[in-house]
Homo-oligomer: A and B are copies of this chain.
């Protein structure tokens, strides 16, 4: 058994039969008949199993009777055309070796279907199921798709810092980072505010980033087009199916560009990712279309087929006010749209993705570019059916005087933004950017309803296992 291992994927995609092959994987099922057994083997390389025929008398045949679901085996044999339906090839084994058994009594992943809730408690084993294996392969493919999309368009991947000294990133609750022990922290806590953090690793308070934007902007104002793609953190105590304390964001920043370029970029990226999921990952995608949400292909085709609706905020409000529907939160010009409003627009009114733009400046962040009307900013949110907001972005205010004024108006400490303002002080250029929630895209293309089920090891309120 000294020939090199072939993956199940490579074996199934093989151009033809092969007299000598070696595969390794985990047993998914076993069927016994008189004189032989069939094993279905999966090695994670793809969703499909490879069928292995183990006949009485071959080396290791006596092991078969003890092989349960989850056992790992090493099989040598010939790759032959399969007489069974559903697969082109199977392996006729000449030798079987046990790599690792799986006690049938104790192994939690028996053939029956398990609830998502149960599978979350064994997140270290659920990738061995069809559904979570497919999800993780899709996740990997979409991650690659993000990089390919941006590389093709001349964007440079940048690693914006995770630990930040600024608690002014302006988006929700932040985690603190410290190298002090609990006891040292207690001594630190009684220091006067100005000395707070002085004994800690960085000599000042440190946090986990909620967005790479503020550091990505100076990079775009040097390299032209950049994108961050990394983990992001929120310490919100929201125990919902859409909130995680740690999640991945795609954050492009593009110099010499306006809001329309930004909309085009966002729409292009989203369509590219959906296309990769449906076309390049057809097998894994098929599982979700079959078992999770049968309307998935239709929903996604609608997303691909036509340009996204582009709708000024003021128009959105008019449509919502005219809607024959009672909302929990009242709609009013000047107020932010709630999730229910966003979903009405994209799911009921337009039945396709909608880019809402030009929001009232008072409900948006300080860095968004002010429009000439004096009331709105060049912000945009992309809303998609089933998810709601999936992208939030804006043109960035590049005019030093206006930006400084907004920082002061919002009661933020101007002195903390010195380096950020430098990009406007020296050779300022129009620039735009957005944030795309990577997990939301995964929920979109799989139909999975809970963010905990589109990540390998989710971190949420009160949950930090593994």
Q: What residues of chain A have their CB less than 8 Å away from a CB belonging to chain B?
A: 5, 7, 9-10, 24-27, 43-45, 70-72, 74, 99-103, 106-107, 109, 122, 124-125, 127-128, 132-133, 136-137, 139-140, 143-144, 147, 151, 154, 156-165, 173, 175-180, 182-183, 185-186, 188-190, 196, 201-204, 206, 208, 215, 218-219, 221-226, 230-231, 233, 235, 237, 245-246, 248, 255-256, 398, 419-420, 422-430, 455-457, 459, 461-466
- Knowing A419-B465, A466-B215, say if A136 contacts B156 (CB, 8 Å): yes
- Knowing A124-B422, A186-B186, A466-B419, say if A24 contacts B429 (CB, 8 Å): yes
Q: List 20 A-B contacts (CB under 8 A).
A: A7-B224, A44-B225, A45-B224, A70-B426, A100-B428, A100-B429, A122-B419, A125-B422, A137-B223, A139-B157, A140-B156, A158-B456, A160-B457, A162-B162, A164-B464, A176-B179, A177-B208, A201-B245, A201-B461, A230-B231
Beta-carbon contact of A222 and B178 below 8 Å: no
Beta-carbon contact of A43 and B256 below 8 Å: yes
Provide the residues of chain B in CB contact with A127, threshold 8 Å.
218-219, 222-223
Q: A227 to chain B: closest CB distance in Å?
A: 9
Q: A74 to chain B: closest CB distance in Å?
A: 8
Interface of A (DSSP majority class): mixed
Beta-carbon contact of B256 and A5 below 8 Å: yes
How many angstroms between the C-alpha atoms of A305 and B326 in the bound complex? 71
Provide the residues of chain B in CB contact with A5, threshold 8 Å.
256
How many angstroms between the C-alpha atoms of A149 and B9 in the bound complex? 18
Beta-carbon contact of A201 and B224 below 8 Å: no
Beta-carbon contact of A246 and B165 below 8 Å: no
